[in-house]
A and B are shown apart, each in its own frame.
Chain A
Amino acid sequence: MKEFFDMGGYAFFVWWSYGIVTFVMVANVIVAKMKRKRIFKQLQELSEES
Chain B
Amino acid sequence: MMQFIHKYGSPKYFYQWSYGWQRWLTVITVLLLGFGLYQGFFVAPPDYQQGESYRIIFIHVPAAWMSMFVYMVMAVSGIVALVWRIKVAEIVIGESAVIGASFTALALITGMLWGKPMWGTYWVWDARLTSELVLLFLYFGVIALHGAFEDPRTGAKAAAILAIVGIINIPIIKYSVEWWSTLHQPATVAKFDKPSMHISMLIPLLVMALAFKTYFMALLFARTRTEVLAREKNASWVKEVVEQES
Chain A count of residues within 8 A CB distance of the other chain = 27
0/1 per residue, A1-18, Cβ < 8 Å to B? 000100111100110111
**Which chain B residue shows the least CB distance to A16?**
B113
Tell me whether B53 and A46 are in contact (CB under 8 A).
Answer: no
- For the residues of B in contact with A, the DSSP-based class is helix
Tell me whether B53 and A13 are in contact (CB under 8 A).
Answer: yes
Question: Complex formed: what's the CA distance from A47 to B51 in Å?
Answer: 60
**Which chain A residue shows the least CB distance to B107?**
A21
Q: Which of A4, A8, A39 contacts B51 (CB 8 A)?
A: A8
Q: With an 8 A cutoff between CB atoms, is B245 at the interface?
A: yes
Tell me whether A18 and B219 are in contact (CB under 8 A).
Answer: no
**Which chain B residue shows the least CB distance to A11?**
B52
- The segment from B83-91, B134-142, B163-171, B226-234 that touches chain A is B226-234
Tell me whether A44 and B242 are in contact (CB under 8 A).
Answer: yes
Known A-B contacts A24-B102, A44-B246; A13 and B223 likewise in contact (beta carbons under 8 Å): no
- For the residues of A in contact with B, the DSSP-based class is helix
Question: Complex formed: what's the CA distance from A46 to B243 in Å?
Answer: 11
Collect the chain A residues with CB atoms within 8 Å of residue B243's CB.
47
Chain B residues near A (Cβ < 8 Å): 41, 46, 51-53, 55-56, 59-60, 63, 99, 102, 105-106, 109-110, 113-114, 116-117, 215, 219, 222-223, 225-226, 229-230, 233, 238-239, 242-243, 245-246
